[in-house]
C-alpha cells in the first residue's frame, strides 16, 4: 500500500491540478436574457407557425383597409391586435417558450388577435370599453416596434360621466422570463392578493421593455404607454400615482425623483435606489470601477435627486426583514440631508412581500393623497439634476448647465410681499412658467432682474456671474448654437432614449481588424436590443440613408471613414473631434495607431437640420456583467472612448478602453 503524501505536498498537488484543470476548462457561458427556452412538440410548432403567418397576412391586409377615410380610429388600434402576433412570433423565432403551458397560451393569443382584427374591420373595439384588464399595444417611436401594456378599467367606470379618472401606473418586479407571451398570460389572470387595486382607478401596467427597471428604453416605454392611455381615456394629470414592488420599487424611485411633476404620489416597495451600496461594487475584491462609470451612476441614482421629493408625497413600503429595505433606508438618509422626511411603512416580521395589514394602510394613505390632488405650480418649488436628460419640474425648465454631471439646483419661492426669489447652483440658462407677472419683482441669487415679454416661458441667462432676462432673439439664437441642451447631452446611451437608426457600412474598411470588430459589435448591439429591449433595430446601409432619416433619427454609424460614407462626411465636416486615416486615429489631439484602435463616440450630428446625435460604433453599452442585477444596468461609457482592439470584447467593455471622457457644455 503506498505511503500517504505529507499534507502540505498533497495540498500543493491538489492546487496545481485544480489550476491546470481551470486553465483547460472554458469559462462558463455568459448569462443569457431571456434564458434559453424549452423545446415544444413539432406539431405544436408547425401549428403555431402557420397561425402566426396567417395572422400576419391578415394584419397587413387590414392595415391597408383601415387606411381608408373614416376608419383611421380603428387603424390606430391595430397594435392592440398586432401585439398578440408578436408575442407568438417572437416565442417561436427566438425559442422563448419556458413551459409547455405556454403553447396553449400562444393558441389563445392568436385567437385573440384574430378576434380583435375582425372587430376592427367591422368598425368596433369592445375591449377598449369593457371593465377589467385587457392587453393593449402601441407602436414605439424609438424603433417602430409593437409594445404591450396592460390596462385595467374599473367596474362601472363609464357610469360616472366624463370626470377625469385617477390613474395608477404600476411597475413590475424582475421577471427574466417575462417575454411578451408571458406578460400577456400574467396580466390576464385575476389580481393577486398582494396587488393594490383601487376601486375607482384606471390602472396602467407598462411592460417596460422586459426586465430593466424602466431604464433607457424601459423608461421611454412608461411614458409612451402613458401617452397612449391619456389619448384614449380621460385621466386626471393631477391624480396620477406611480408605484411598484421589488424591481418595480426601484423603477418607482427612479421615476419619482426624475419626473416629480408627473405624479400626485409615489409608493416604492423594496427594490434599490442606487448602485454603489446596493450592489457592493466598491467592496474589497471587486473589479475596479472607472471614474467615468462612477460619474455616470448619477444618471439613475435616486439618492442624488432626493430634493425633488419636496413637492411629491412618497409613501415607501418595506418588509421588516427584507434585505431590500436598504432602498428606503438609504433614501430616508438622502431626503434627511435635504431637510425632508420619508414616510416609510414597514410590514412587521415580513420578508420580500407586502404585509396584508400594512398594505391596507398603504392603500388608504394613497387614497388620501390622491383626493388632495397635485398642485401644478406650488409657491415653493425645488428642482435638482445632474443632466439635462432630466431638465424640468413644474414651473422650472433648465436649458443649460455650467457643468454636466455636477449637481445643479433651482429653487423658487413666491413671498407674501410679491417677490419671486430664485436661487441657483451650476445653472447657466433656465426658464420659468409664470402665469402672472404684473407687479412681480424677480430676484435671482440676490440680483434684481427686470422682466420683459416672453410669455409663458421667461428665459434667464447668466453672463460673467450676472443674471439677466432674455428676449425671443436670445432664445432663437441660443437654439442654433452647439451646446449641451435637453435632448442633446450625452453620454452614448442617451441616444437610445429617442428615435434612432443603425447605419451599416457598404465600403471596404481602412484596416481589417477594425472592420471585423465593428461588424461583431454591430451584431452584438442588434441582438442585445432585441433580447433586452424587445425591438428589432431599424437598419439601413450607408448608401440608403435619406434626408428624413437625418432629420428625424439619431444615426448610429458603424465602421470607419473608408467603409461608411456617413462617418467620412461626419469627420470631414470639420465640426468633430476626430481625424482618421489608415495610419492614424486622432481623438481630441491624441493620436492612436489606426490598425488596432477604434472610436466610440456620441456627438451632435452636423449633417442634420435638427438637434440629433451621431453615435459611432456602439449600442447600449452595458454588457453581460450587468445581466444578473438591474442595479448594474447603468451607462458605462461617457461621451467618447478609444478602444484598443488587441484586447477582445468582454463582459464589461468592447475592448481595452485606453482613453475616455466627457465633452464640455459646448461639445468641445
Bridge partner list, 385:
408
Percent of the chain with pLDDT over 70: 95
Output the pTM of the full model.
Answer: 0.94
- Inform me whether the pLDDT recorded for 537 exceeds 70: yes
Mean pLDDT of 229-251: 97
Q: Using 50, 70 and 90 to split pLDDT, how confident is the model at 479?
A: confident
What pLDDT is stored for residue 230 in this prediction? 96
Interior/surface letters 176-215, b for 16+ CB within 10 angstroms, e for the rest = ebbbbbbbbbebbeeeeeeebebeebbbbbbbbbbbbbbb
What pLDDT is stored for residue 16 in this prediction? 36
What pLDDT is stored for residue 505 in this prediction? 98
Mean pLDDT of 395-421: 96
Mean pLDDT of 417-425: 95
Of residues 477 and 650, which shows the higher confidence score? Answer: 650
Question: Is cis: bond before 491, omega within 30 of 0?
Answer: yes
What pLDDT is stored for residue 48 in this prediction? 98
What pLDDT is stored for residue 161 in this prediction? 59
Tell me the pLDDT tens digit for each residue of 324-335: 999 999 999 999
> Cα angle vertex 34, ends 33, 37, to 5°?
135
What pLDDT is stored for residue 435 in this prediction? 83
CA distance linking residue 177 with residue 91, whole number of Å: 11
What pLDDT is stored for residue 302 in this prediction? 98
Tell me the pLDDT tens digit for each residue of 157-215: 775 557 899 999 999 999 999 999 999 999 988 777 778 999 899 999 999 999 999 99
Q: Which residues contact 277 (CB under 8 A, 6 or more apart)?
A: 326, 330
Tell me the pLDDT tens digit for each residue of 73-85: 899 999 999 999 9
Mean pLDDT of 408-421: 94
Mean pLDDT of 484-502: 97
Q: Using 50, 70 and 90 to split pLDDT, how confident is the model at 29?
A: low
**Lowest mean pLDDT, pick from 148-157, 261-270, 525-534:** 148-157
Backbone angles phi, psi at 340, to 5 degrees: -115, 155
Please say whether the dihedral angle defined by the alpha carbons of residues 585, 591, 592 and 595, taken in this order, is positive or negative.
Answer: positive
What pLDDT is stored for residue 28 in this prediction? 56
Tell me the pLDDT tens digit for each residue of 260-278: 999 999 999 999 999 999 9
- Inform me whether the pLDDT recorded for 218 exceeds 70: yes
Q: Using 50, 70 and 90 to split pLDDT, how confident is the model at 14?
A: very low
Q: Give yes or no for a contact between 131 and 154, defined as CB atoms under 8 angstroms apart.
A: yes
Tell me the pLDDT tens digit for each residue of 360-406: 999 999 999 999 999 988 999 999 999 999 999 999 999 999 999 99
What pLDDT is stored for residue 454 in this prediction? 65
Q: What is the residue-averaged pLDDT of the chain? A: 93
Percent of the chain with pLDDT over 90: 86
Q: Which residues contact 225 (CB under 8 A, 6 or more apart)?
A: 138, 147, 149, 204, 206, 207
CA distance linking residue 39 with residue 36, whole number of Å: 10
- Inform me whether the pLDDT recorded for 481 exceeds 90: no
- Inform me whether the pLDDT recorded for 506 exceeds 90: yes
Of residues 151 and 162, which shows the higher confidence score? Answer: 151
CA nearest neighbour of 219 among 277, 264, 262: 262
Q: Using 50, 70 and 90 to split pLDDT, how confident is the model at 478?
A: confident
Q: Give yes or no for a contact between 260 and 311, defined as CB atoms under 8 angstroms apart.
A: yes
Cα–Cα separations (whole angstroms), residue 96 to 39, 53, 106, 184, 618: 9, 18, 11, 14, 26
Helices (H), 199-308: 217-232, 247-258, 276-279, 291-300
Q: Which residues contact 431 (CB under 8 A, 6 or more apart)?
A: 397, 399, 457, 458, 459, 460
What pLDDT is stored for residue 70 in this prediction? 81
Helices (H), 98-179: 101-121
Instruction: Return the HEC string of 56-106.
Output: HHHHHHHHHHCCCCCCHHHHCCCHHHHHHHHHHHHHHHCCCCCCCHHHHHH
Mean pLDDT of 580-591: 95
Amino acid at each position: 500500500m503506498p505511503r500517504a503524501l505529507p499534507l502540505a505536498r498533497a495540498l500543493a498537488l491538489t492546487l496545481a491540478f485544480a489550476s491546470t484543470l481551470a486553465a483547460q476548462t472554458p469559462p462558463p457561458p455568459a448569462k443569457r436574457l431571456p434564458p434559453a427556452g424549452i423545446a415544444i412538440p413539432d406539431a405544436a410548432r408547425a401549428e403555431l407557425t402557420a397561425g402566426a403567418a396567417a395572422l400576419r397576412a391578415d394584419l397587413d391586409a387590414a392595415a391597408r383597409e383601415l387606411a381608408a377615410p373614416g376608419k383611421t380610429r380603428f387603424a390606430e388600434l391595430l397594435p392592440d391586435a398586432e401585439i398578440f402576433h408578436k408575442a407568438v412570433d417572437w416565442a417561436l423565432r427566438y425559442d422563448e417558450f419556458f413551459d409547455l403551458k405556454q403553447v396553449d397560451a400562444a393558441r389563445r393569443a392568436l385567437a385573440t388577435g384574430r378576434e380583435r382584427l375582425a372587430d376592427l374591420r367591422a368598425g368596433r373595439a369592445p375591449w377598449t370599453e369593457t371593465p377589467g384588464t385587457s392587453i393593449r399595444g402601441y407602436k414605439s417611436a424609438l424603433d417602430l416596434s409593437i409594445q404591450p401594456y396592460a390596462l385595467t378599467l374599473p367596474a362601472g367606470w363609464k357610469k360616472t360621466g366624463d370626470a377625469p379618472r385617477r390613474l395608477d401606473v404600476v411597475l413590475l418586479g424582475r421577471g427574466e422570463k417575462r417575454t411578451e407571451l408571458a406578460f400577456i398570460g400574467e396580466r390576464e389572470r385575476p389580481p393577486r392578493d398582494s396587488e393594490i387595486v383601487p376601486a375607482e382607478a384606471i390602472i396602467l401596467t407598462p411592460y417596460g421593455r422586459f426586465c430593466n427597471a424602466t431604464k433607457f428604453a424601459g423608461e421611454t416605454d412608461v411614458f409612451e404607454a402613458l401617452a397612449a392611455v391619456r389619448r384614449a381615456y380621460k385621466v386626471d394629470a393631477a391624480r396620477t400615482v406611480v408605484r411598484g414592488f421589488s424591481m418595480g420599487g426601484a423603477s418607482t424611485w427612479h421615476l419619482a425623483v426624475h419626473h416629480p411633476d408627473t405624479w400626485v404620489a409615489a409608493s416604492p416597495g423594496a427594490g434599490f435606489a442606487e448602485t454603489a451600496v446596493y450592489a457592493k461594487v466598491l467592496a474589497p475584491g471587486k473589479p475596479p470601477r472607472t471614474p467615468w462609470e462612477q460619474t455616470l451612476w448619477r444618471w439613475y441614482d435616486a439618492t442624488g435627486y432626493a430634493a425633488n421629493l419636496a413637492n411629491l408625497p412618497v409613501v415607501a413600503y418595506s418588509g421588516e426583514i427584507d434585505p431590500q429595505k436598504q432602498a428606503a433606508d438609504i433614501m430616508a438618509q438622502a431626503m434627511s440631508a435635504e431637510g425632508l422626511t420619508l414616510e416609510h411603512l414597514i410590514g412587521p416580521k415580513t420578508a420580500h412581500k407586502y404585509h396584508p395589514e400594512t398594505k391596507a394602510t398603504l392603500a388608504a394613505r394613497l387614497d388620501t393623497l390622491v383626493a388632495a390632488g397635485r398642485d401644478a405650480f406650488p409657491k415653493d418649488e425645488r428642482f435638482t439634476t445632474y443632466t439635462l436628460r432630466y431638465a424640468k419640474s413644474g414651473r422650472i425648465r433648465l436649458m443649460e448647465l455650467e457643468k454636466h454631471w455636477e449637481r445643479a439646483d433651482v429653487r423658487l419661492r413666491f413671498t407674501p410681499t410679491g417677490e419671486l426669489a430664485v436661487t441657483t447652483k451650476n445653472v447657466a440658462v433656465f426658464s420659468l412658467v409664470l402665469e402672472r407677472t404684473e407687479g412681480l419683482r424677480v430676484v435671482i441669487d440676490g440680483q434684481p432682474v427686470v422682466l420683459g415679454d416672453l410669455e409663458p416661458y421667461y428665459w434667464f441667462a447668466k453672463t460673467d456671474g450676472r443674471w439677466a432676462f432674455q428676449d425671443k432673439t436670445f432664445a432663437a439664437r441660443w437654439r442654433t448654437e452647439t451646446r449641451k441642451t435637453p435632448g442633446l447631452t450625452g453620454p452614448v446611451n442617451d441616444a437610445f432614449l429617442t428615435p434612432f437608426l443603425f447605419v451599416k457600412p457598404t465600403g471596404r474598411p481602412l484596416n481589417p481588424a477594425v472592420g471585423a470588430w465593428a461588424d461583431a459589435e454591430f451584431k452584438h448591439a442588434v441582438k442585445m436590443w432585441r433580447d433586452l429591449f424587445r425591438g428589432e433595430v431599424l437598419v439601413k446601409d450607408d448608401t440608403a440613408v435619406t434626408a428624413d432619416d437625418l432629420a428625424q433619427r439619431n444615426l448610429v454609424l458603424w465602421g470607419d471613414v473608408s467603409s461608411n460614407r456617413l462617418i467620412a462626411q461626419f469627420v470631414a465636416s470639420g465640426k468633430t473631434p476626430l481625424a482618421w486615416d489608415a495610419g492614424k486615429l486622432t481623438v481630441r489631439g491624441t493620436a492612436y495607431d489606426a490598425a488596432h484602435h477604434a472610436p466610440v463616440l456620441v456627438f451632435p450630428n452636423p449633417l442634420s437640420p435638427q438637434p440629433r446625435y451621431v453615435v459611432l460604433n456602439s449600442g447600449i453599452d452595458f454588457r453581460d456583467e450587468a445581466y444578473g442585477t438591474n442595479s448594474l444596468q447603468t451607462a458605462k461609457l461617457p461621451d467618447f472612448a478609444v478602444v484598443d482592439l488587441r484586447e477582445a470584447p468582454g463582459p464589461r467593455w468592447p475592448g481595452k478602453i485606453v482613453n475616455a471622457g466627457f465633452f464640455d457644455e459646448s461639445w468641445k
